[in-house]
């Protein structure tokens, strides 16, 4: 089973421009041993049991409800809004979402690894946090809450990516079983 790893934010990431401007950015990735589309990844990520907890919290405290069907609509490009986020930018292999406060962003990307056999897709997930202000020395300031929840954010981000991986892996196993059964009939 693959392990969630921390990496450098790829230069081609839609969120890279914010890193260049001094925003906090992180980048996590995990490899899946099959081809995964961005649409599949979006649905898997936003419909895991773990993310559903976040969706529930957002529906209560931010009045931003969402459903699995909304996640599917987002994945297909049929909506630009999902819970507390709006699509800021999208390409065939990645999506960048901005939260309603315009302070944080979430980024998902799929990358097919060319030289892998069998086919492997790298799933990326990252967050961007815009600084609250800049000090007189031009150092970005993120606020006390940002620093207090840093370790939690790191663990939670890894858990979200691992949950999406498991969901995609389970989907893959289910599809293989369906193919085997259809061949037997």
Per-residue pLDDT tens over the stretch 81-92: 988 889 999 999
Q: Which residues contact 13 (CB under 8 A, 6 or more apart)?
A: 27, 94, 107, 109, 124, 126
Q: What percent of the chain has pLDDT over 90?
A: 55
How many folded domains does the chain comprise?
A: 1
Owning domain of residue 153: 5-184
**Which pLDDT does position 182 carry in this prediction?**
45
Supply the CATH number for residue 43's domain.
3.30.530
Length of the chain in residues, anyone?
Answer: 185
How high is the mean pLDDT of the chain?
85
The pTM for the full model equals 0.84
**Where is average pLDDT lowest: 94-108, 132-146, 153-167?**
132-146
Q: Which residues contact 7 (CB under 8 A, 6 or more apart)?
A: 27, 28, 29
Q: Which residues contact 64 (CB under 8 A, 6 or more apart)?
A: 58, 83, 84, 100
Identify whether the C-beta of residue 74 lies closer than 8 Å to the C-beta of residue 82.
yes
Better pLDDT: 21 or 106 = 106
**Which pLDDT does position 183 carry in this prediction?**
44
Within 13 A of 2's CA, how many CA atoms are on the CB side? Answer: 24
**Which pLDDT does position 179 carry in this prediction?**
39
In angstroms, the CA 128 to CA 85 distance is: 13
Identify whether the C-beta of residue 96 lies closer than 8 Å to the C-beta of residue 104.
no
**Which pLDDT does position 101 carry in this prediction?**
86
pLDDT in tens, 148-177: 677 888 999 999 999 999 999 887 655 544
**Which pLDDT does position 2 carry in this prediction?**
82
- The rounded radius of gyration (Å) of the Cα atoms in the chain is 18
Residue 139 confidence (pLDDT) above 80: no
In angstroms, the CA 168 to CA 184 distance is: 25
């Amino acid at each position: 089973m693959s392990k969630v790893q921390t990496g450098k934010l790829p230069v081609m990431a839609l969120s890279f421009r914010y890193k260049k401007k001094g925003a906090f950015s992180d980048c996590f990735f995990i490899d899946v041993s099959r081809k995964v589309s961005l649409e599949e990844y979006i649905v898997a990520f936003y419909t895991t049991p773990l993310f559903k907890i976040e969706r529930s919290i957002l529906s209560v405290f931010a009045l931003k409800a969402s459903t699995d069907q909304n996640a599917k609509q987002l994945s297909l490009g049929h909506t630009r809004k999902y819970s507390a986020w709006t699509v800021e930018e999208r390409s065939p292999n990645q999506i960048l979402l901005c939260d309603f406060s315009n302070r944080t962003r979430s980024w998902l990307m799929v990358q097919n690894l060319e030289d892998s056999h069998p086919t492997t897709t790298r799933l990326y997930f990252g967050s961007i946090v815009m600084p609250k202000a800049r000090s007189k020395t031009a150092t970005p300031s993120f606020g006390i809450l940002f620093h207090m929840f840093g370790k939690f954010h790191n663990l939670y981000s890894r858990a979200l990516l691992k949950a999406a991986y498991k969901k995609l892996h389970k989907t893959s196993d289910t599809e293989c079983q369906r193919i085997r059964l259809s061949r037997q009939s």
